[in-house]
Chain A
């Protein structure tokens, strides 16, 4: 039985893992979104020269294990002369990986905008860029927010993988402390609770954003069915159903 006093000594060290975890999560997410957009546009492009590479990237990242991708970036890229710092490698892999999955969300979002919108925009003489940013995107946004919320939670969980390539996030520190102290239940229990709390926070943030966007764009929330990848169901946030 370990003495709680010793664990308490390590608590600050453990909690300092939270910013690291969040940093990885947020940075990777910030990369994933533009990546997803680019891939989605590429995939729906009429030019085969854009469609094909986009498709390949998507299938490649979705079709292989994220951990393998991470290890590959960390251990193999140096052989090609690309020596990335651990954080960069982690963020890059997670961002590209999640971006590939999210490209589908963008595509679905754009598809959900009624065709009449495009026709109206064309007849009104809007340029393609204007049409995209001021007509399509605002209307696609409300539908896309819940899956993005899901993706954020998934990213949080995936961020734990970077602990295996020497980044000192929550999981890394938990592992280290438990090995040092020899008592694992308490440490990992605490870490699980921290991750869960973070997940709930991020989920609440996504819900708030959804409400905000819905209020601005004016489309009633269709009770969008949460995808199977969502970490936190509605009930846990005191939401509907």
Chain B
């Protein structure tokens, strides 16, 4: 039975490395979120067109992305893209992979929001003769987005946690830094615990914040 001997000196010494990784994690989350939100919206719009082939393709894409593990998708992008002439840094590849993976679930969220708009809103907008683009941009999307904002927020938090998968494609984000530091002396307690703590603090705090905003929004 070994006792826990937490080495504070060691813990302190690895902090800079961990924070460097944390910085990368935050960047990856931000850029990934932007990709997810934009591509997700595009996907939702594609899934609602009149052209059956377009709708089908978009639906198939979303279904496939959500039905396969992010890990494998990251591998595909990392190993396969360069062979097709599209080489980018591991970080960019990881961000794209993360963004596209979450764009699929964001697309579902947008769709739920749009379908939740009362038909009366559509009827009012159309009977007023508003052009269809204005119906979307001025009436439907503003309402839908406002409704689903908390769910999108939760996606960002989930994304933040799954950036850890980027460590498998050589991106030195938080987890990669932690395992790297830990492997030097085969001492993983401090690095992984500190990394875990960082993930937890940010993720738990953000989730609480989102819930607070949700309640405020509902209460007017």
Chain A interface (Cβ within 8 Å of chain B)? 59-60, 62-69, 71-72, 75-76, 79-81, 153, 156-161, 163-164, 171, 174-175, 178, 184-185, 188-189, 191-192, 195-196, 199-200, 225, 228-233, 235-236
Contacts and interface: CB of A to CB of B under 8 A. Distances in A.
B168 interface: yes
Contacts of A153: 67
Interface in B153-196: 155, 161-165, 167-168, 175, 178-179, 182, 188-189, 192-193, 195-196
A117 B199 CA distance: 42
A153 B104 CA distance: 15
Contact of B199 (A64, A174, A178): A64
Interface string B182-220: 100000110011011001100110010000000000000
B165 to A, nearest CB: 6
> Interface of chain B, helix or strand or loop or mixed?
helix
B2 A79 contact: yes
B195 A157 contact: no
Contacts of B63: 231-233, 235-236
A65 B175 CA distance: 9
Contacts of B4: 79-80
Interface of B: 1-2, 4, 59-60, 62-64, 66-73, 75-76, 79-80, 83, 105, 108-109, 112, 151, 155, 161-165, 167-168, 175, 178-179, 182, 188-189, 192-193, 195-196, 199-200, 203-204, 207
21 contacts: A59-B204, A63-B207, A65-B196, A66-B161, A67-B162, A68-B164, A71-B175, A71-B188, A71-B192, A72-B193, A75-B182, A171-B72, A174-B72, A184-B76, A185-B83, A188-B72, A188-B76, A188-B79, A199-B67, A232-B63, A232-B66
Contact of A68 (B70, B108, B196, B207): B196
Contact of B69 (A62, A71, A171, A230): A171
Given A64-B161, A184-B80, A232-B66, A192 B72 contact: yes
Contacts of B188: 71-72, 75-76, 79
Contact of A65 (B64, B161, B179): B161
A50 B133 CA distance: 54
Nearest to A191: B72
A79 to B, nearest CB: 5
A137 B207 CA distance: 30
A153 to B, nearest CB: 7
B168 to A, nearest CB: 6
Given A196-B67, A233-B62, 14 more contacts: A59-B204, A63-B199, A64-B161, A65-B199, A67-B165, A72-B188, A157-B69, A160-B71, A171-B75, A184-B75, A188-B76, A192-B72, A228-B151, A232-B66
A62 B161 CA distance: 10
Contacts of B75: 171, 174-175, 178, 184, 188
B162 to A, nearest CB: 7
A194 B200 CA distance: 33
Contacts of B164: 65-68
B69 to A, nearest CB: 4
B189 A195 contact: no
